[in-house]
């Protein structure tokens, strides 16, 4: 998860990713930032994020993003 936090901080350094649970709903991450994030995640963790997984519930917190990554790594 540490690498995920690094990636997030590169995209939006002013957010506290350890505690924030409304990254999408609170508009901390916009659609362009999410697209960049997805690209970084796919490269770093060697996963493919299907379009059906690109929903706010999967991107509202670092914890939820990490859970998505782990789930995709298992597939």
Residues 15-74: tens digit of each pLDDT:
999 999 999 999 999 999 999 999 999 999 999 999 999 999 999 999 999 999 999 999
| Domain enclosing residue 51, as ranges | 2-13+21-74
- Give residues with Cβ within 8 angstroms of 74, minimum separation 6: none
pLDDT interval class at 9 (50, 70, 90): very high
For the stretch 41-53, what's the b/e string if a residue is b when 16 or more beta carbons lie within 10 angstroms of its beta carbon? beeebebebeeee
| DSSP summary character for residue 75 | -
Long-range contacts of 31-36 (CB under 8 A, 24+ apart): 34/59, 36/11
Domain count, the chain: 1
Q: What is the CATH number of the domain that holds 26?
A: 1.10.1200.10
Residue 52: both structure tokens together? 């059906």
Q: pLDDT value at position 48? A: 98
Residues 30-47: tens digit of each pLDDT:
999 999 999 999 999 999
């Amino acid at each position: 998860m540490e690498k995920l936090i690094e990636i997030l901080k590169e995209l939006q350094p002013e957010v506290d990713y350890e505690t924030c649970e409304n990254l999408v709903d609170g508009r901390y991450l916009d659609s362009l930032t999410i697209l960049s994030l997805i690209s970084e995640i796919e490269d770093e963790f060697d996963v493919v994020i299907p379009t059906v997984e690109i929903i706010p519930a999967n991107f509202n917190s670092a914890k939820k993003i990490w859970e998505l990554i782990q789930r995709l790594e298992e597939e």
